[in-house]
Chains A and B, each alone.
Chain A
Amino acid sequence: MSGAPTASPAEIAGRLATHGFFRGLSTELIEAIASGARLHTYRAGEFLLREGRVADEMFAVLEGKVALEVFAADRMRITIQTVGPGEVIGWSWLAPPHRWSLDAIAVKPTHAVVLEAAPLRARFAEHPAEGYEFLLRLVPVLASRIQGMEMQLLEANVL
């Protein structure tokens, strides 16, 4: 089923504190992040985000599996990575133009914390040190995805 289970900010903070991406952040920052977040359960086949739409959220996967998909006009949708518990989805919310560059679709029922981007951006603008710490966690996610593409390109001998 799809929907937004009711959870207090304290409960969400508790889930984030043990999530692989957020673990180790200060309690104060986690509580601040949780105050602008909600829990959501996605059905298998339900989109978390769509290419081209406004990137105004970030997703912390708690359970389930999400496929990141790209679409080529002459081919079917292609999954380029799956993301599971302990991982996060979405960085386009951080920098302009705030548009998603791919689709993310739940492959099986997926439980996630959905973080609102605007409060996050405002928080980091006000507390650059926290923003920097957050970036230090987000950059390896990006690096991993870039490295994956690098490996795919080199293995396919397309360069």
Chain B
Amino acid sequence: MSSSAHVSTSVPDDGTSPYAPTPYVVRSRTLETSDIATLVLAPAGGRPIRPFAPGQFNMLYAWGVGEAAISISGPLGDDGELVHTVQALGPTSRALFSALPGTCVGVRGPYGVGWPLEAAVGKDVVIAAGGLGLPPLRPLLYRMLAEREKYGRIEVVYGARTPKHLVFYDELQVWRARHDLRFQVTVDAAGRDWYGDVGVVTTRLPDTRFEPAQTVAFVCGPEVMMRFTVQALLERGIGPDAVFLSMERNMKCAIGLCGHCQFGPEFVCRDGPVFSYRAIGPYFAVREV
């Protein structure tokens, strides 16, 4: 790694520890699936964290267990509330997933570079989400719908493994009923009690309508899903500068110091998690990255 003089970090310059979390309390918990929950966190008396941009993430600390990078999945509440959607995968995320209302958790952030909304102004927009890739895209969608007149067509394709893996289920119905965006939902496999579309996200992309040269795409999901989705979008004529991805890596410090999240020459926590495909495309093909 280069010397620290060449590395910009997100370390605060006010003398406080960059690792000190701010206490928040779980105000509500919504079970999305058997292992995914959405938590609404409210400041527990202290100063709330800074406002965030759609696509940024926070480090959530389950006291005595550990810290995990969790993307922000909802709008900033009037009283500083934060919304996070957590999947129980390891000890820390399982502790956060299980946190009931009243539980105190630590928050530090927001971190990283969010979705470049300004790049989409005046253009058609394609949003492709796979699995737990929808939560980081939800604040972006809220922002676009709040300023709907700024954008052209908005096409959303959301895929999950099965119907029972869909998150924000009730809200999906609301989005699908809107007339100012097209929201397609698909699942990889389903039983006969599912009347919707079945097939991976890329099978729904041919059905999206947009003007390729005037379109910006935002993609988040499992890496294999993003790889094939980007390929399909590029084949439709969207330029690599206009395709943005949110990368997931093992983030520890979240401030560009430890290197755990390095992806090629980039630190995902500091330089991402949102990147243009132009910036990181070459590293998708490198197996050792």
**A-side interface residues toward B, CB under 8 Å?**
65, 67-68, 76-82, 84, 107-108, 144, 147-148, 150-152, 154-156
Contact = CB atoms under 8 A, between A and B. Distances in A.
Contacts of A147: 200, 202, 228
Interface string B190-204: 111011111110110
Q: How large is the interface on B (under 10, 10 to 19, 20 to 34, 35 or more residues)?
A: 20 to 34
Nearest to A70: B189
B161 interface: yes
Contacts of B131: 155
A79 B224 contact: no
Contacts of B202: 144, 147-148, 151
B197 A151 contact: no
5 contacts: A78-B189, A79-B198, A82-B199, A152-B200, A155-B161
A67 B186 CA distance: 13
Given A144-B203, A155-B225, A80 B198 contact: yes
Interface centre among A79, A144, A152 (most CB of B within 10 A): A79
Interface string B137-181: 000000000000000000000000100000000000000000000
A108 B203 CA distance: 19
Contacts of B239: none
B188 interface: yes
A151 B224 contact: yes
Contact of B198 (A76, A81, A108, A151): A81
Contacts of A84: 197, 207
Given A82-B198, A82-B199, A148-B202, A155 B191 contact: no
A107 B195 contact: yes
Contacts of B198: 67-68, 79-82
B222 interface: yes
Interface in B232-265: none
A46 to B, nearest CB: 14
Contacts of A78: 189-191
Given A151-B224, A156-B161, A79 B191 contact: yes
A31 B153 CA distance: 37
A151 B200 contact: yes
Contact of A77 (B188, B192, B222): B192
A155 B222 contact: yes
A77 B189 CA distance: 10
Closest 9 CB pairs of A and B: A154-B224, A148-B200, A81-B199, A79-B198, A82-B198, A151-B200, A79-B190, A82-B197, A155-B222
